[in-house]
Amino acid sequence: MIRRLLLLLGLLAVAPAAARAQDANALVGRSSRVYRSLSSLTADFVQLIDNPMIDSAESRGKLVQAGPDKLAMRFTDPPGEAVIIDGRSVWVYTPSTTPGQVIRMSVPSGGPIYGYNMLAWLLDRPAERYTASYVQADVVGGRSMDVVELVPAVPDLPFEKAVLWLDRADGIPRRLEITEHSGATRTLTLSKVRVNQSVPESTFRFEVPSGVRVVDQ
């Protein structure tokens, strides 16, 4: 009787994990629908770039997004740096590495800005673009997560895999980790996430600092 009870308890513990493992596509699909339904998302972020060829670099700041084509990442460390997508142009200002200039690129038509907008990169039509598999359950910032791995199923994506920590309560990712073909990894961790708040249009306006040259690419 004791043996049967222990076996039953073991099966009950394994069953939820097995169900989640079989449901990776459903988890990512839910997060994609939640993400696309948001009018805005605001969060504090910590970004870690780990490159085996150079030293790791950690940065932090505030991220604001409204729709697929507007994004503002304003850094407090390194201070003053920014990546702004205003719907027409992408502005990349990194005075700690390229002082005296800001890069401006045209926004491509027909879709979100991949690369700089990691959320859109991974949650725009994921069923068409990735093969999903369940990794494990985890906790980030005291919140329960389902961890899912995405492997590109279409050519020309510049990374080997991505891992998403999806919040069980609201479906919004709290951590994203991308492994590039070079072996470098980029991890973005979000905290203090707020959604559907009113965002001033000025949030997505980049004001070129005095004396800074605009370089078009």
pLDDT on residue 165: 98
Tokens of 98: 């390229």
In 3D space, the residue among 4, 48, 14, 22 whose CA is nearest the CA of residue 177 turns out to be: 48
Q: Which residue has the higher pLDDT, 163 or 5?
A: 163
Domains plus CATH for the chain?
Answer: 22-216 (2.50.20.10)
Q: What is the mean pLDDT of residues 115-134?
A: 89
Interatomic CA distance for residues 208 and 129, integer angstroms: 36
Residue 12: pLDDT band with limits 50, 70, 90 = very low
Model pLDDT for residues 200-210, shown as the tens digit of each residue? 999 999 999 99
Residues 6+ apart with CB under 8 A from 164: 28, 31, 122, 147, 148, 149, 150, 173, 175, 176, 177
Helices 2-22 and 24-37 pack at an angle, to 10 degrees, of 50
Model pLDDT for residues 67-98, shown as the tens digit of each residue? 878 999 999 999 999 999 998 899 999 999 89
> Could you tell me the pTM of the whole model?
0.85
Percent of the chain's residues with pLDDT above 70: 86
Q: What is the mean pLDDT of residues 147-176?
A: 94
The mean of the pLDDT values for the chain is 88
pLDDT on residue 6: 40
